[in-house]
Structure formats: structure tokens, C-alpha cells
Amino acid sequence: MKYSSLIIANLFRKKIRLTLTLGSFFVALFLFGMLAAIRGAFNQGVDVAGADRLVVINRTSLISPVPLSYMDKIHQIKGVKLITHMNWFGGVYQDPSKFFPKFAINVENQRQVYPELQVSDDEWNNFAKDRQGAVVGASLAKRFGWKVGDRIPIKGDIFPGNWEFNIDAIYQGKDSQQDETQMWFQWDYFQERVPERLKGLVGWYTLRVDNPDDAGRIAREIDNKFDNSSYETKTETEKSFATGFVKQLGNIQFLIITIGSVVFFTLLLITGNTMAIAVRERTGELAVLKAVGFSDRFVLLFVMAESLLISLIGGGLGIVAAKVIAAWRNPVPNVLPFFKVPNTALFMGFALALTVGLISGIIPAIGAMRLRVVDALRRV
Amino acid sequence: MVRVDGSGSASSLIHVRGLDKKYYRGGEEIHVLQGLNLDVDQGDFVAFMGPSGSGKTTLLNLLGGLDVPSAGSITVAGDEITHMSRGKLTEWRARHVGFIFQMYNLIPVLTAFQNVELPLLLTKLSKAQRREHVETALAVVGLSDRMHHFPRQLSGGQEQRVTIARAVVSDPTFLLCDEPTGDLDRKSADDIMALILTLVKQYKKTVLMVTHDPQVAERADVTLHLNKGALVEASRVEGAMSGGAR
């Protein structure tokens, strides 16, 4: 503590330079936080995927349907506990910018297959009885100010026409990781209005198995069962399915790592240069410190402390700002409904700032530590 | 009593024997100090004079443990410093040496108070004790009313006073002054020399000073001339103890 005034006084020696260096850390770590939020948004489905859930889709592609008649056949396979199905609906609420995912669901088993998305029994029963009923996620309801009893119009695009739904229930995720931005409605209502060629077809099945260890066997059995049929299937774990879905959008992980690396090395160069200049400017002063009895180790730590303080203050403010802003308001609710800076990214951000501070400070600090008083004073 | 002929006893405060210092510059050996002997007692005020390159500052650096000799020994208050490690020398400097530089070498971002406090940060003194010491040191140099000023807000003479306060605040065994008035006008130089004399006479400090200025040198008890690395002449100021020659 007794050295703090010395460290702080040196930190504020060049205020503009300090501000700019702090600013570069702030911007870099803010960017890191936002990228982590984007990555989290894309991987949210992967992160929350149930280990005991499998997804059955048409082998051709996700957008090709599979017959409803497969449901019982799949359910009969040993180890399959529950099964439900869903269809992607599309549709526009008010205007295309107000996008949210809408699914036609199987009312019977939806809650059992997705127990982490919780709805009260009363509301669910009302929904089950209402052919035009809908269940919406809590954050979606909050976004549009909806409440149970509201009637919402959706303009169909994949499935044309004006569709109307009654909000009968609002589901809540059991934790903050869950997606609360979906809307579900009855598959029976959907079936009434789809073209004849699409009747009796579902988008995909999701099933729960008794034992996750059997997932591989069950997936093989399902796909073997429908081999050489008109609708061959591809069965995979929900995690694998979600990962594949994200990959269709490009390698987000690679993108983030690449941008992060560029930011990291740029910061390293900026801070390293700043620290080298700062030490060079203070050669005489460091020599005086040594002359009056400050040890080489103290001088090393003194320079390192300055570097670490800059990186931790600038970087810390940047990553915390990203966290606060992402929590306060999602800047892209239509594109990425789940937009949060995860706590792991917060810690990683601090670790990154710490690493840059350490690496950029260490060379100037060693130079300062090795400084010979006699040589340094001669240069003054 | 100051001696340069090697006749002093080992009980001298500063006891230097056979001091050699060589540099290699561009492949050429430069023998800066050659077999130098010196004995300085507690309370002596010694001035070193000589032409540029004669080795005055080198001698001061060696005596202050900032540099190591090529041969010979330096013993200060019983501590043989020539074989100390870098770390030990640093600790030794903190306890025994106060430096006063020509260019003051104050830390510009610290106030006069904080600059003077620097050597005390290495001690176990409490904050209140440090404050007391710093205020006393600044009072001795006559800068009690400038303790919260930064170096840029002080004149050259005042900056040098702060340097002197920093040098004495930890009550070192001796003071090393390298051209302490070299960057000052005559009036300020006289003031600084008066202050150094006060430290010697009133506070019994031992002072070793390098200077080019004969007027400054004559304020010392003894002036030693360095020429080509050797102490070739010693001029004793008679009556130094009585103060009559000042």
C-alpha cells in the first residue's frame, strides 16, 4: 500500500497516453464481450441441449419433412421414453423485423420432452383445449407486451394466409440459459390450413430416451428402420443437431477466435510499445530509485504493476460494459434473441487483459530491472 | 582526518585501498583509477576536483556502491562493499548512502514531500513516522512551505534542496554529492553550499563531493585532486575544525 502513491502518480504521468491506452483496452475487451455474446447466442441451443434427447430429421435436409406415421414406429423402439414433433412455421408478426421463431407442436408430449420450459398446468390445459391457442416464451411476451388472453395475428409466408392465435399460456425457462423467445401453437390447427401435399408430415421429431448411453444404438435403429423408404431419416443427439444447425451459419467459433487473436496481438503491440516508451522516458528516475535503495525486483514489479493496472482497468471496464449493455438491452433481438455475455466470458476477458498486461509489461520491466544505475545516470 | 597515502587505519569511516577501475571502450582499455588509497573519518567534508575524465564521478560511484572496482577494496563503517552482490549493495546503499546529483533527479510526478519520502518507503517506519521524518528533513533545508509542490513548481535551488532533504531523510552514514551546484547560479550555489556545511557542522554528516568549481571546493575541509586516475595532490584547509577558512 505504501507504494501505491508512487504507482498511481506514475500511471497518471501522461494523461492523454493513459486515456488512449485504457481506451484501446476498453474497446478491445468490449468487442471481446460482444463476440462472446454472439457466440453464446449461436451456441445457446447447443449449451442447453438435453443429453437424453435425440432429434430425427429427414436425411435429405432439415427443411424436408418426415411422415407423422413414423411417430408410433419410433416410439416402439426399445429405450425410447417419449416423443414429440414440431414444424417450423415462419410467418410475420406486424413486420419482418419483428421476427421470432414459431413452431407447430404436438400438444400431448411437448412439456414432458422439454421439462426445462415450464408452463403451469392451468394455462397448459387451456392451451390444449383451444385449437387456436398459443404458448409464448416469457421474454417474447415481455418484448411485445403480451399477456394471457391477447389475440395476435400472424401473416403466413411459408404457409400463406392470415393466422390468428390466442395466447393461452406463457412458458418460463427453468434457468437463464433457456430460450424464452419461441411461440408454440397446435399442430392440429396447423394441419387444417396447410396444402394437401403437406398434410400428415411433420418437420422433425424430438424424443427422450431412458438412458443417454443408449442414444447411439437407438439412433442407428431408427435410421435403419426407415432405410430405403421415401423418407429416410437422420437421427442424432440434440447437441449434435444444434451444433450442425449453427455450422450452417458458418464457423462462428473460428470467426471469433480469429478476431479475438487479431485484437489480442494488436493490444499486445500497443501496450508493449507504450510501456517501452514509458520506461525509456523514466530511465533516469528508475536509476534514482535504484540509487536510493530500491531493489531490482522492486523496479521490475513497479513497471509490471503499471502495465497490469492499465490492462485490468481498461480491459475490466470494457468487458463489464459489454456485460451490462448486453444485459440492459439486446441490440439485435430479431437476429439473436438470446444475447448475453456469459460469466465465463467475463472471467476470460479479465484473464485476457491480465495476460496482455503481463506479456506487454514483462520486456520493459526486465529492461528496467537490469538497468545499471551508473549507465542510466550518465544518459540523463 | 583525510589521508590518501594509505597511512590511515582500518577504523576510518571510509577505508579505500588499491582501488583500480578499468573500462573497455571500442576495444581500448581505459584505466580510470589506479591504486587509489583514501581514508575518510566521520564528519569529514572532502571535495574531489580534477579535469573531465579524471575519474571523479567514477570514484564517487564506487564509493556509493553504484559501480564495482576492477581491483582493490572499499570498506565503509566496517562493511567491505566491493564483494557484495547487487542485491546486498542495494540494501547497503539504502542504509548508508545519501546521493545528491547535479541534475537533482527528482521524480517529476511526485511532490517534494513524496520525493523526500522515497527512501523511507524502504524502511519499516509507519506512515506517521515517515511524515515526521520528511517534515523534519524539509524543515532543515528550509522548504516546509513547499512540501506539496511538484518539482516543476520549484526553482533549481529549491529542487536541489529537496534532493538534499531526500539524501538526508534516512540519516545515511555519508553523503555523496556529484556537482551539487553545477546547474545553479552563484547565489543558489552559495545557498546550497551553506546548507551542506550546516549538515557537516551541525549534524556531523560526512560529505564527499565532486566539483569543478574551486569556490565550491574551498568550502570543504579537504580538497583532493584527481589526475589520470590517481589522487596526486591533497590540499588541507588549515583551521577547518575551527571553521576559520570558510
* Mean per-residue pLDDT over chain B, rounded: 88
Question: Which residues form the domain of B154?
Answer: 42-67+92-236
Residues of B in contact with A294 (CB under 8 A): 90, 94, 118, 122
Give just the sign of the alpha carbon dihedral A64, A68, A69, A74: positive
pLDDT band at residue A250 using 50, 70 and 90 as cut-offs:
low
In a domain, B241, yes or no: no
Same domain for A171 and A300, yes or no, is no
pLDDT band at residue B70 using 50, 70 and 90 as cut-offs:
very high
In this prediction, residue B241 carries a pLDDT of 41
Angle between helices A283-291 and A252-281 (to 10 degrees): 70
> Is the model's pLDDT at B104 over the cut of 90?
no
Higher per-residue confidence, B231 vs B62: B62
Same domain for A313 and A283, yes or no, is yes
Same domain for A140 and A36, yes or no, is no
Q: In sequence order, which ranges of B141-185 are alpha helices (DSSP H)?
A: 156-168
Same domain for A143 and A288, yes or no, is no
Question: Which residues form the domain of A128?
Answer: 60-231
Same domain for A203 and A76, yes or no, is yes
Contact A293 B166 (CB under 8 A): no
Å from B243 to nearest chain A CA? 31
Among the partner-chain residues B61, B95, B121, the one whose CB lies closest to the CB of A3 is B121
Same domain for A222 and A278, yes or no, is no
In a domain, B195, yes or no: yes
In a domain, B81, yes or no: no
Question: CA-CA distance, B239 to A114, in Å (whole number)?
Answer: 104
In this prediction, residue A321 carries a pLDDT of 95
Per residue in A163-207, pLDDT (tens digit) is: 999 999 999 998 877 888 899 999 999 999 888 888 999 999 999
Residues of A in contact with B66 (CB under 8 A): 291, 373-374, 377
In this prediction, residue B162 carries a pLDDT of 95
Per residue in A77-112, pLDDT (tens digit) is: 999 999 999 999 989 999 888 889 999 999 998 999
Instruction: Give me the mean pLDDT over the B96-111 stretch.
Output: 91
In a domain, B27, yes or no: no
Cell digits of residue A43? 451456441
In a domain, B22, yes or no: no
Q: What does DSSP assign to residue B3? A: B
Same domain for A81 and A206, yes or no, is yes
Residues of A in contact with B166 (CB under 8 A): 292
Same domain for A27 and A161, yes or no, is no
In a domain, A126, yes or no: yes
- What CATH number should be reported for the domain holding residue B140? 3.40.50.300
In a domain, B51, yes or no: yes
How many residues make up chain B in this entry? 246
Cell digits of residue B146? 513547499
Number of domains in chain B: 1
Domain boundary residue among A202, A231, A260?
A: A231
Same domain for A82 and A203, yes or no, is yes
Per residue in B204-229, pLDDT (tens digit) is: 999 999 998 888 998 999 899 987 77
In this prediction, residue A198 carries a pLDDT of 86
| Lowest mean per-residue pLDDT among A331-345, B179-193, B224-238 | B224-238
* Contact present, A26 and A321 (Cβ < 8 Å): yes
Among the partner-chain residues A6, A293, A380, the one whose CB lies closest to the CB of B105 is A380
**pTM here?**
0.71
Question: CA-CA distance, B159 to B180, in Å (whole number)?
Answer: 11
Minimal-distance CA residue of chain B relative to A374 = B66
| Lowest mean per-residue pLDDT among A87-91, A236-240, B59-63 | A236-240
Residue A226 to residues A49, A90, A217, A221, Cα–Cα distance (Å): 25, 28, 15, 9
pLDDT band at residue A232 using 50, 70 and 90 as cut-offs:
very high
In a domain, B226, yes or no: yes
Same domain for A119 and A204, yes or no, is yes
Residues of B in contact with A374 (CB under 8 A): 61, 66-67
In a domain, A343, yes or no: yes
Minimal-distance CA residue of chain A relative to B170 = A292
Instruction: Give me the mean pLDDT over the B166-193 stretch.
Output: 91
In a domain, A257, yes or no: yes
In a domain, A242, yes or no: no
Same domain for A100 and A28, yes or no, is no
Number of domains in chain A: 2
Per residue in A315-358, pLDDT (tens digit) is: 999 999 999 998 888 777 666 767 888 888 899 999 988 998 89
Same domain for A64 and A16, yes or no, is no
Cα A102–chain centre separation:
20
In this prediction, residue A46 carries a pLDDT of 62
